[in-house]
Structure 1
């Protein structure tokens, strides 16, 4: 039981932290000096046992399978540095969540299997080996705190009188200073410290109408008034690491668990585009739309860093199961000029539909480009949109037909298809083009075309124009593993400089990403799923 652990089990050491009043030399904040919380209150607060009693810290559940805490809890020598490496923790760590009275049996006890630190800040996300049930994760504050704001801090560490409490404690604090990445805090009770040993990583949160919002995480403290502290130490302030300004990072890390668990074997069509914001050269990467076999459509929001292992940060359902999209034959993301990108859909009955823009709430601006049961579009095999002409605002639509003909519809606007150009006449080769996708692999003035052939060969056609194809580069030979690729799509999922990352869904339901494909070929696969 926690209360029976020896004093040496608690973290010790000193950290230097700059605050408004000057340089603070503070021990890692390891418990809240306030009163015991009512059972079940602030149940999102986690108790972390690191190394079987080697260290003890606190944390906050921000997702069913993720706890945020202080990186210094896991550092080799927190007195020198709070840096930790991404991956499994150095010491076996268990997290207890939803058990505000540690002598009870409620809540969830899970192992921490992965750490994801935030660079330059005493913060880390800790992944649990199983989801926490029965506890609502704490929401993240979306606005910056100000000097004079009142918050509440919580933790499982020491108090002014108890070495190792069995219950979660909390107390009110006031914000003394707001730095770029930290907060200076002072407890409202002048007789005791707000934060003592055992509270490192514990939450500092604001409460609005009974709904807590996480503002910061306990980092360091003077610990004046905490049991076991030198009686001559009268300073009771603490410094916390801000969380309110890194919502996007927390969201992305939390999403690592959800993305692989999607039913990828039912992903039938994929399209990419800037649907939720961002543009080439910006920080937000391309988003991805997936049409599932049951007609549901999901929008995956692109992340804002260069981590190829985790290119997406959130998902939104933009069409429900058994929607009309169950009858979509092909989809492609496209820019029609102005606002977010849209979508072109070819349906099983030959109808061609344009959605002028797509966002988190759904598909908007539906326009019929070709009616159902027409005499032309039922014979289309593949479609992809890209910038094949000089128009920088709107994409062009490239189409392969059942007889091998390849056409280009230039400058697709919000009203109609215009300017059909025949790039190749009917032939016996192009009926074997199983997937096509527009990309920018070679640095030409116009987009390239990537084709995955039925025999597994993959070919790049550089700088396609209205004049046709201008050479070809084979990046995968015939009978290659790409014969098992069931979906191939291109987007700017990593560097965001141009759409030259290729995403592949394989026949065995794996999902892989090839970053930075160029004329020399692919340069290694990053496994996203499987």
Structure 2
């Protein structure tokens, strides 16, 4: 049996129009129905080495034999210029279009290709792809621009009535009682049934014994058709696929993505396609975008579109030139960022919004963790992401505290004391103090808590009644900055903070919190602080005649302004 391949066809009629689109006179309006004149959807495929046939299956797609593209084995541009004549009733006339084929998509397991036209044909109705199998004994038509019984190179497509034999998995036989079935040049032409709603494509011409064809002496009859009746969904997906359009626009298998791996798949209201070196994901809301390398690995590991939505961007280089990123469509925002030093990590939701507001990687650096769940001191569940800022940085979120960043020595102090589970979530970003000298974060500890830092004092935490007393005196503008964390006294009874302006606040359950500062503080310290006979302060410093005084559990200390001396009284 002779195979109707392009290499064995009559060469004298080859037409070459490289990368061109030539509009001939448009077909008549009556041809748009697709049923009055089936020759409209029959296509002639022309290349340097010969001709094939094909069939228009969508405005910008034809289906034809892979014999027309013997050197093209993967999706992408054809290895040689090929054109298609579409919508013509007579190649010697002026109707129809001659269009360049700019990409081909070989079909796995069958000698078929989808070929994309340079521009859509909008006034010629494509043939409908059959959705029901061909049946043995069914009457069909086969057509093409190949040789006939009387012409070497016909200008009109021929249509022959055939009877289908018993279908195999990928082929079915066809026989004709009235002359040739198919001849050389018919490879890729349609085999179709006629229905009340128009023609339906069930197969493509593959090979025949050439009986009855001009110049042939073979007496055996019959032809073999390639089945397409079971490829309705596959072909429809490809012809309507924004992913395939994007991929072919990149260069197909010759692009940086390489060859497809598997088939296009449905996911989370959109679709995806894997390639050797990446993937393309699509949804109607986001379009088709590329995800690659470690970002793709991370994306798939967390659940892909079901976790953080579809990509809103291709993989891009960050403004600093160090990393790569994709943004995704999760409500509230989501991104995956990667650098060689930090690897790929997800930032999402409120943390993503805060990071963006702070300047992305130019603010806190790159994420070094995914978003992590943590429980705060009040029992509420929160989340955080750490970043690569040279001084260290994190963004924390909880429903009660909101979303705030914490960094540097304040963050280190907070974490060293137990972080959110012990001190609560930050309720402020790291902020500059009113005096412009230091920095602080407040936290949602039930008793109230802050960590304050200055270059002179370092970072220290202060909380509860001691913090409230310090606040009453004007925060850092009063006693200055804390020089200690809140610390348990040596007798284990009370707690205290010291401050930079020669001041302290001491607290016990019995005495509450009171401030001691200046000369009175120095005298009390000289006596041994709370271990002295005076024990703990029971008042703040207050005015007396000629000076100031603090009361203690067992006495007082009075400062006299006239001579700048202090006097200790016990009782």
Q: Identify the TM-score tier after normalising by the shorter chain.
A: 0.3 to 0.5
The answer to which structure has the higher strand fraction is 1
The answer to which structure has the higher helix fraction is 2
Q: Report which of the two structures shows the higher radius of gyration computed on alpha carbons.
A: 2
Q: TM-score, normalised by structure 2?
A: 0.43
Q: TM-score, normalised by structure 1?
A: 0.46
